[in-house]
Structure 1
Amino acid sequence: MSDRRTIEGTILRGKEFEATEGRVIVADGQIAGIEEEPVESDDIVVPAFVNAHTHIGDSIAKEAGEGLDLDELVAPPDGLKHRLLREASHEETVAAMERSLSFMEGSGTAACIGFREGGVEGVRAMAEAVEGLDIESVTLGREEIEAMEAADGFGASGARDGEFGRERTATREAGKLFGIHAGERDPDDINGALDLDPDFLVHMVHPERIHLERVADRDVPIVVCPRSNLVTGVGTPDIAELAEHTTVALGTDNVMLNSPSMFREMEFAAKLSEVSARYVLKMATHHGAEIADLNCGVIEEDRDARLFVLDGDSDNLTGYQNPVRAVVRRAGIDDVREVVLETPD
């Protein structure tokens, strides 16, 4: 017998988040249908987030490194985060990552793309941390080809740290995802990153016109992490300019610097940039899902049933006039009534 349930409210439907009053029909882990009709509910039904760039291993070092610059904080191999990761036990690292993943799950995140330090052992630790949770981790190994083979792909630190040609070739041959940091502190590593023909770039705070033209020509998606960029003092990305050239997704970056809250990241991105709230919600949902080839991030038939429900009558949200703007610029974890993270068997 089919496992069938309904979820009522104002549904942010499809890739344009058309506000539709009615019911979402969930059956066997998928969205089986959407019924458009009046309902007695103030709830807002939202596609679950995809956090497109994280470093979950940093969960052992939250708010460490006050006053340090970017290199002192995270540069391999001797930045603070790498030293703390080496000093932490396997059990400590896994437990800390599990807590961050649980927080993300409870705040409506269906999946995250994580750059995971520590080679093969780091990838295995992530698998252990996510076991038993409903959030999906798209884990990109680092430091060695063997880590990529054990993971969902490879996450490169940046073209100034190495050539990564062997790693890129091996990742392509394995049919897996390859991402690389670029343009975080200056434009000098962007061409080198693009030469690797990556599946996506992370940061791109300092692109020049030639870089944007290359990105557009190759249709390379970009993941921005504006709160992290502000904290590390490298500037903030021009999201509107990037969006004119390619698909832009949203990530929260290092857990040591920022909570992995997509609500906080969306609000900051929306108020920082000139893009619409609707575009920011795309960045936080189906743009990230498309990078990782996930069947979520959109409420429409035949998608995985991965969504969350906001209490539209909460003290924070009651009286909202525009549901998309309310979700992006105002909502928070305290407004979450229910998180549904299901996939077909």
Structure 2
Amino acid sequence: MHVEGTILRGRQFTPVEGRVVIADGEIVAIEEVETESDDVIVPAFVNAHTHIGDSIAKEAGGGLSLDELVAPPDGLKHRLLRSASREETVEAMARSLRFMESTGTGAFLEFREGGREGVAALRDALAGRGGAESIGARDVESVILGRGGSEVLEVADGYGASGARDGDFDEARNAARKAGKPFAIHAGERDDLDVNPAIDLDPDFLVHMVHAGELHLDRIEDRNTPVVVCPRSNLVTNVGVPPIRELAERTTVALGTDNVMLNSPSMFREMEFAAKLADVPAAAVLRMATVNGAEIAGLDCGVIEEGADGKLLVLDGDSDNLAGVQDLVRAVVRRAGHGDVERVVL
């Protein structure tokens, strides 16, 4: 198959007219030829941090603090997850997956609560089983980081720890290393007290780092530790916003939408907010939403180049919203939305 239009090619998203040729799920050629298409072809997004289990509780808990909302074991989200049936949880997650796919997400990194059963429920949502049959299977790719005892690594793709203040994660980190799977952890979300203990665990990546100080920035630069930022979530929970520009000067930064309870899992919204919040170029933000997350997760997507996975987002460049733009990359990051999506190729 092939897709024609203006292609945002490579890591610099250079606009070229032509077609992307895909065979067996892989980009096999990028042909620079004249076309009559107004479409804009972008790499599908990689949402680098989600909690889609709480899709059962969208917009619950308005006005509550971060701890009241999500702190384990008895934050509002955890109580709601315990009270929901498995079928309800699976169906709610499947709906979020369908929305993510329709808004251009090709892969996501999920911090999944509930141990082995929590991982199994998400896999059922992905496969269209266990309450999600009427919604259908999803084509979006998942990297599921489980939580609980280290035995969750038998079924999960890695381990996603809540935060260094919530327990001792040495065993889980060591088990993940032994299994050859990633270990990641939240850090610096409410304050800076858990940042150094989290870095000491030598994680594959950190999430949030709202309260990263100069010492922390030096440490992550020295260790080459990537960071996933979720600025909309941080604003909603009133903990501040991450220093995106300073982090990006030191390490690889990716974007995530965090809890579905608090925010829609739309990478369009996350990009726009991050771009208008931080003093970084549009191309850097688009990398945060695509190839940076893919590289953190060890995936072969997030960029349009030969050999990469054929995961593409096709936008209508002649939509009422996008017609007449002067800078395509800036428009994709700061202006494009769900209504501009022509199709998603996964």
Amino acid in structure 1 at the alignment position of 2:19: R
Superposed, 1:1-345 pairs within 5 Å as 5-131=1-127, 132-341=137-346
Amino acid in structure 2 at the alignment position of 1:20: V
Count of matched residue positions in the alignment of Structure 1 and Structure 2: 337
Give me the identity figure in percent: 70
**Matched position secondary structure for 2:175:** helix
Q: Deviations over 1:85-106 (max 9, x none)?
A: 0000100000000000110011
Question: 1: distance between equivalents of 2:342 and 2:18?
Answer: 17
Question: 2: distance between equivalents of 1:54 and 1:223?
Answer: 11
Instruction: Give the gaps of 5 or more residues in structure 2.
Output: 128-136
The answer as to whether partners of 2:212 and 2:243 remain within 8 angstroms in 1 is: no
Question: Offset of 1:262 from its aligned partner?
Answer: 0.1
Amino acid in structure 1 at the alignment position of 2:54: D
Question: 2: distance between equivalents of 1:6 and 1:153?
Answer: 34
Question: Offset of 1:238 from its aligned partner?
Answer: 1.1
Amino acid in structure 1 at the alignment position of 2:342: R
Question: Offset of 1:148 from its aligned partner?
Answer: 2.2
Amino acid in structure 1 at the alignment position of 2:11: K
Question: Offset of 1:244 from its aligned partner?
Answer: 0.8
The answer as to whether partners of 2:5 and 2:38 remain within 8 angstroms in 1 is: yes
TM-score where L is the length of structure 2: 0.97
Amino acid in structure 1 at the alignment position of 2:319: S
Root-mean-square deviation over aligned CA pairs:
0.6
**Matched position secondary structure for 1:244:** helix
Question: 2: distance between equivalents of 1:217 and 1:161?
Answer: 26
Amino acid in structure 1 at the alignment position of 2:148: E
Instruction: Give the gaps of 5 or more residues in structure 1.
Output: none
Question: 1: distance between equivalents of 2:2 and 2:197?
Answer: 49
Question: 2: distance between equivalents of 1:136 and 1:30?
Answer: 14
TM-score where L is the length of structure 1: 0.97
